Amino acid sequence: MAIQHATDQDFQSKVSDGLVLVDFWATWCGPCKMIAPVLEEVDAEIGDKVQIVKVDVDENQQTAGKYGIMSIPTLVLFKDGEIVDKVVGFNPKEKLVQFIEQYA
């Protein structure tokens, strides 16, 4: 499935169903730029198990604040609208796949 972008307005609807990995990021963030192609690879490999959604923290401060995002990139894993886990910083594809599959 393709990676989607969420805003403060549609965030809840994007994470309410199934397993969703949310990437909180910003355009100026170096590690965020490094993780973007890794997320594309994860999506290609296990996109049938997890939906990936990106949230720009500069443009969507309400959502970032609600979930206490202090540093980016922060990846938050939701299952049916509830947070099940999170990881902060850059991680290689293998680690992200393991992180996701323990909840799939």
Q: What positions carry a catalytic annotation?
A: 29, 32
Q: Decide: 77 and 83 in contact? Cβ < 8 Å.
A: yes
Burial of 13 (0-12, 13-18, 19+ CB in 10 A): exposed
Burial of 44 (0-12, 13-18, 19+ CB in 10 A): exposed
**39's torsion region: left (phi>0), alpha (psi -120 to 50) or beta?**
alpha
